[in-house]
Amino acid sequence: MLELTSQLLGRIRARQAKVGVVGLGYVGLPLSLTFARAGFTVLGFDIDPAKITRVAAGGSYLKHIPAEAVLAQTAAGRFSATSDFSRARELDAVLICVPTPLTPAREPDLSYIVGTGESLAPHLRRGQLVVLESTSYPGTTDECLRPILEKNGLRAGVDFYLAFSPEREDPGNAHFETAQIPKVVGGHTPACLEVAAALYGAAIASVVPVSSTRAAEMTKLLENIYRSVNIALVNELKMLCHRMDMNIFEVIDAAATKPFGFQPFFPGPGLGGHCIPIDPFYLTWKAREFELSTRFIELAGEINSAMPRYVVDRTGEALNQHGKAFKGSRILVMGVAYKRDIDDMRESPALRILELLQERGAAVAYHDPYVPAIPKTRRYSFDLASVPFTASELTTYEAAVIVTDHSVIDYQLLVDHVPLVIDSRRATAKVLRHRERIFSA
């Protein structure tokens, strides 16, 4: 193993190591470009032929990744994509960035990790590095992925290297790119850690080694649970402040002036994205194996999951105050992406809000400049396309519900032409005219 380690470290330092990235989505595509920019030859794997075609043409399918960034690396011969897993034999390292959703019973769905492992295992060779980046419960790398990769006789830590390094992508964040975000790495053995840390260190500014794959897996969960619990706290306080006739945002802004001991979190219509609404439940599921009830995590999940219904309830209150009923009212949902200025709809609370509005008899429509049509998901199937954002269109609605506060939206125009605006994001804070039409939620 010492000789294999020395050879692989040498190839990494010389930028001669070939890197594979499985899953070219919101994590895999920017990770591929990061390694390509650092001078490595990168081969991406995906089961979606449309992504393979776009990469081959030097194009992008993600709003926050410009086509020029992809073209620069494909034209230089440093980045290509395929669906042929037999090509994994060509690689020195394979980084796995596949989804880890929940089942309808809110239990971990590791089918993408299992499928990837089974696709890679027949082509795994001695001296390769495999790193899992997909968020999961502590033990996934060792208990789930490792046995699959070892089916053909190779052993992790002896014949090949195995590690876990959690993704930390934040789509649309202009302040942090993949190369700038510190990379936590845990190895199956010390040699596995050494090789994985060297690979990431060659492309990413800072590497944070931890003692094991489990510690690295737990690190990612802690990061997201921290956010989930604190967001649940301010969501609960938002509901209380509404009852007490106070503005929760004013209170948070005032508290944030304290120079120590306080970090502001802000309420909203519910949690979205692939991390915060899902990852905490991976740990609550695993905790049952150890006969421990993770009550903070589960309570936070309950509060955050209830926020779409709270927004709809507040919409009903606002309609009632204006002599309107849900049934038959035309309601415009503003924004269906899970957060501002991106096109990512994963776990967006807007989908649940649309569903609840329809259940109450409203005629719903939506506008989102980044989501021209709502794709079918495991749970939702809406036959809706984004309507124009024009004065003539806006005047046809009884109410608008702001779910996602995209910065390109003219909120004054919205308030000027819709008689009732329910704002769950403080998007209308700078609106000057017709403020009596705004109802916070």
Q: Which sequence positions are flagged as catalytic?
A: 275
C-alpha radius of gyration, the chain, whole number: 24
Distance CA 259, CA 38 (A): 38
Residue 163 in tokens: 């590690």
Residue 71 in tokens: 């073209």
| Three-state secondary structure of the chain | CHHHHHHHHHHHHCCCCEEEEECCCCCHHHHHHHHHHCCCEEEEECCCHHHHHHHHCCCCCCCCCCHHHHHHHHHCCCEEEECCHHHHHHCCEEEECCCCCECCCCCECCHHHHHHHHHHHHHCCCCCEEEECCCCCCCHHHHHHHHHHCCCCCCECCCEEEEECCCCCCCCCCCCCHHHCCEEEEECCHHHHHHHHHHHHCCCCCEEEECCHHHHHHHHHHHHHHHHHHHHHHHHHHHHHHHCCCCHHHHHHHHCCCCCCCCCCCCCCCCCCCCCCCHHHHHHHHHHHHCCCCHHHHHHHHHHHHHHHHHHHHHHHHHHHCCCCCCCCEEEEECCCCCCCCCCCCCCHHHHHHHHHHHCCCEEEEECCCCCECCCCCCCCCCCECCCCCHHHHCCCCEEEECCCCCCCCHHHHHHHCCCEEECCCCCCCCCCCHHHEEEC
Angle at 157 between CA 153 and CA 160, to 5 degrees: 60
Q: Which of 303, 58, 35 is nearest to 183 (CA)?
A: 35
Count the neighbouring beta carbons within 10 Å of the beta carbon of residue 18. 16
Count the neighbouring beta carbons within 10 Å of the beta carbon of residue 69. 16
Count the neighbouring beta carbons within 10 Å of the beta carbon of residue 84. 11
CB contact at 8 A, 110 and 16: no
